[in-house]
Amino acid sequence: MRPASIWLLVLMLAGCAVERGVETRPPDTAAPTSVSDSPGSSTTGLPPTTTTPTAPLPRFDLSAHSVWFGPNFGSVDFPDLFSQPRRWRAARGQVDVIKFYANAVSGFPFDIGGDNVLSTFVDVDAFEKLLDWDIAIAVEAGAIKFFECSPDPWAEYTNAAIANIEANGGRVSFVAMDEPLIGGQIVEKGQTCGFSMAETAEVVVDYVDQVASAYPDVIIGDIEAYPHYSVAELEDWILALEEAGYTPAFLHLDVDIQRTEDEGQDVVADLRRLEDFTADHGIPFGVILTSNWTFADTDQRYYESTMRWTETVSTALERPMHVVLQSWWGPAPSGLHEVPVNLPEDDPHVYSHTRLILEVLEFLGRQ
- Encode the chain (367 residues) as per-residue pLDDT tens digits: 334 455 445 545 544 433 444 444 444 444 333 322 322 333 334 444 444 555 666 667 788 899 999 999 999 999 999 999 999 999 999 999 999 999 999 988 788 999 999 999 999 999 999 999 999 999 999 999 999 999 999 999 999 999 999 999 999 999 999 999 999 999 998 999 999 999 999 999 999 999 999 999 999 999 999 999 999 999 999 999 999 999 999 999 999 999 999 999 999 999 999 999 999 999 999 999 999 999 999 999 999 999 999 999 999 999 999 999 999 999 888 889 999 999 999 999 999 999 999 999 999 997 5
Give one DSSP letter per residue of 235-289, joined into a string.
Answer: HHHHHHHHHHT---S-EEEEE-HHHHHHHT--HHHHHHHHHHHHHHTT--EEEEE
Chain-centroid distance of CA 337 in Å reads 14
For residues 347 and 303, what is the distance between their CA atoms, to the nearest angstrom? 13
pTM confidence score: 0.89
- Bridge partners for 251 per DSSP: 222, 285
**Domains of the chain with bracketed CATH:** 3-38+66-366 (3.20.20.60)
- DSSP class of residue 30 equals -
